[in-house]
Amino acid sequence: MTLDPVLKKIDDDLSASIDRLLELLRIQSVSTDPAYAAECDRAADWLVEDLKGIGFDASKRPTPGHPMVVAHTGGDGPHVMFYGHYDVQPVDPIELWDSAPFEPALEDTPAGKVIRGRGSSDDKGQLMTFVEACRAWKAVHGSLPAKISIFFEGEEESGSPSLVPFMKENAAELTADVALICDTGLFESKTPAIVTQLRGLVGEDFTITGPDRDLHSGMYGGIAMNPIRVLTRILADLHDDTGRITLPGFYDGVEELSDEIRSQWQGLGFDHGAFLGDVGLRVPAGEQDRTPLEMIWSRPTCDVNGIWGGYTGDGFKTVLPSQASAKVSFRLVGKQDPYAIQKAFRAYVESRLPEGFSIEYRSKDVSAASQMSTENPAFEQARKALSDEYGIPAAYVGCGGSIPIAGHFKDILGMDAMLVGFAKDDDNIHSPNEKYDLESFHKGIRSWARILAEMSS
């Protein structure tokens, strides 16, 4: 099956593709708010009917929360699983939107045309790039160039509580040769990218208690240990003067970059001065013997996300507080063991508590990092397809955040996941005035058509 007529079909039918996306965007599928449960159900129904219209055997599957959409179609060649999510973030604060978030429209901006509306980039616009690519293949050739399954979730924006049980219960049906995920973006809004590294996460929310009540600093100051003093010393000593994290065994399982990936990253020309300058900073704070992209993508981190204790209202209340609290998170890479790091952190804190002090932890979920093997031929096939579409070399990149679904595909279904997305840095995902560039939508459809062609060859 030839590619060129498929690309022409995509170009010719772009207006109809936009109309379908706008229709999906009008559905208010906010998963975090029970008031929108019927809208989430309606979005799942819309996707089922749309997929049936292009020949998929599609169905809505119930869960304790919002439904899943699962679809299959036969075909020769590799078996590909595509994942996306149809739920969206709440629109608050509504007063900061320049237009109604669920009345999407094509809009002219100084940088070009954009599709404006909640979910346009995260993730409805992205998932529809793949659906529209399949539609074009079917229209031109009557069939798809590979065996394709589709898996759409309705709870990604609310923590995916139903995802893991559903995947375990339906593992045989959901397993394929490779998983494709479209929930990421272009590097610096211009370079096509395949995410091959995702950081894991350990979060600790804890309170240190010293005296059994707040104390008068004039009476007890000097003789009584202040919990805030204890806490700040503990937090400050988590890093040494070079930015290295001091927990014993913390770097166990951290792997070095391959020469090929290091070369690709150097070729991206990342300007860390501009990156930090955009937020009013100048100097990288990570490990000083690492490049800025390594700090963001392939090195582990430790950050204090919140700290409080004592009197914080107007004026002064001269007390030694009974308690001091903090939230600390670790982003993990490679083969770091999140449970070992959690244990090491707690041992570190407890070893520094003065006699008579106690600590309480509020348990948080932990997740390991995900690292995809680019030895799977699909990765180089996709990289070639993206390079051909954009006219510049596509790159394997890391992602500083965590996308648990990629790890679930590996851990539960035993398959590699490839993350390809077309979002731009200024898409305002999770924020007012979310948008998706028309170019991203158009090139996204064309890119998936090319990827399917390469994988089937």
Q: Tokens in use for 116? A: 């404006």
% of residues, the chain, pLDDT over 70: 100
Mean pLDDT of 84-93: 97
Mean pLDDT of 417-445: 97
Terminal Cα distance for the chain, rounded: 9
Local structure of 208: helix, strand or coil = strand
Mean pLDDT score of the chain, rounded to an integer?
96
Local structure of 155: helix, strand or coil = coil
8 Å CB contact between 33 and 90: yes
Q: How confident is the model at residue 75 (pLDDT cuts 50, 70, 90)?
A: confident
Residue-range domains of the chain with CATH = 4-198+370-456 (3.40.630.10), 200-254+300-367 (3.30.70.360)
Local structure of 77: helix, strand or coil = coil
Q: Are strands 417-420 and 57-61 parallel, antiparallel or unpaired?
A: unpaired
Sort 232 into a burial class: Cβ within 10 Å, 0-12 / 13-18 / 19+.
middle
Among 232, 197, 229, 180, smallest CA distance to 336 is for 197
Q: Residue 366's pLDDT is what?
A: 85
pLDDT of residue 47 exceeding 80, the answer is yes
Q: Give the pLDDT confidence of 390-423 residue by residue, as tens digits.
A: 999 999 999 887 788 998 999 999 999 999 999 9
Local structure of 69: helix, strand or coil = strand
8 Å CB contact between 386 and 192: yes
